[in-house]
Amino acid sequence: MAFQGKNESVDIKAQAHVWKIIYGFADSLVLRCAVELGIFDIIDNNIQPIALAELASKLPISNVNLDNLYRILRYLVKMEILSYADGSKKYTLEPIATLLLRNQKRSMVPMVLGMTQKDFMTPWHSMKDGLSDNGTAFEKAMGMTIWEYLEGHPDQSQLFNEGMAGETRLLTSSLISGSKDMFQGIDSLVDVGGGNGTTIKAISDAFPHIKCTLFDLPHVIANSYDHPSIERIGGDMFKDMPSAQAILLKLILHDWNDEDSIKILKQCRKAVPKDGGKVIIVDVALDEESDHELSSTRLILDIDMLVNTGGKERTKENWEKLVKCAGFSGCKIRHIAAIQSVIEVFP
């Protein structure tokens, strides 16, 4: 034996840790398989725990091999998404599975399908090539930027936008409930890069006194929600943006490097008044020493930006430096019940 006693125990733990890392992709793709098959929705709609054969009969595929299905379900139990009901071999949902139901307001299904789509996983294999200064891993793998890719691939763009909308729905309720005092003091707001309008619609509904505007690229605005209380304007945030008391940048600056982020912030500074104006950034505020349950996910998001957009997630010190380089006096960070934080920036 190469190891004896305590050393053998340490070696086994080390091997287990490395094996878990090696097969980390398996969790994502088993989850995708279950979502695509509608397993969680089938169990939820069944009202009571469901047996293997009955579940198989309700899947949207024919000739289901019961042993193969059992092995997938066994792993979902190990992932603590499913469980066995009362010691039987019938399956029921764990509370976490409510985030994986398609009809739930806070469903994470769009993120599961978007993040694990083949083309979006390909650039991760080119990560080492993206460490140079001449392009991201996405560009090296796909031959174009992620934005060019999405513009030229409508189906993938829709999947990407659905994933972003799903993340937005998850985030927006926490943003509103955790920042009521901030929104109550605002009379006009422009959501820059606001996509289909999910966030600005929720803010308008929660705070009807705010004059709300959605601003994004013209082709995005064309596919956004038409809401009677929200003005929709197409344009380019690098060139100009509508004026308001407050500008909202939600999940925007992490897509861009510091140089481009400063350009965007300088346009924001032109759009808000010096007295009483502010920019509201909703993005990750990294704390590299934190043991918070979302800390690892925040660092993964930073690698996501490295691979796909050339952007980055930022620490408190990064944010303070960035906003001052753009000509603002400073910023204040408030944490909400989400991966992201709210960074209030003042002229």
Q: Element (H or E) spanning 218, and its range? A: helix 218-221
Cα 249 from Cα 230, distance rounded (Å): 17
Dig out the tokens for 40 from the structure. Answer: 């969680």
**219 assigned to active site:** no
Quick count: other Cβ atoms within 10 Å of Cβ 15? Answer: 10
Sorted by sequence, the CB contacts under 8 Å of residue 227 that are 6+ apart come out as 197, 200, 201, 204
Strands (E), the chain: 82-84, 91-93, 188-192, 211-216, 230-234, 246-250, 278-283, 285-286, 314-315, 330-335, 341-346
Burial (Cβ within 10 Å: 0-12, 13-18, ≥19) of residue 62: exposed
Name the catalytic one among 17, 254, 292, 335. Answer: 254
Q: Element (H or E) spanning 66, and its range? A: helix 66-78
Task: Supply the residues annotated as catalytic.
Answer: 254
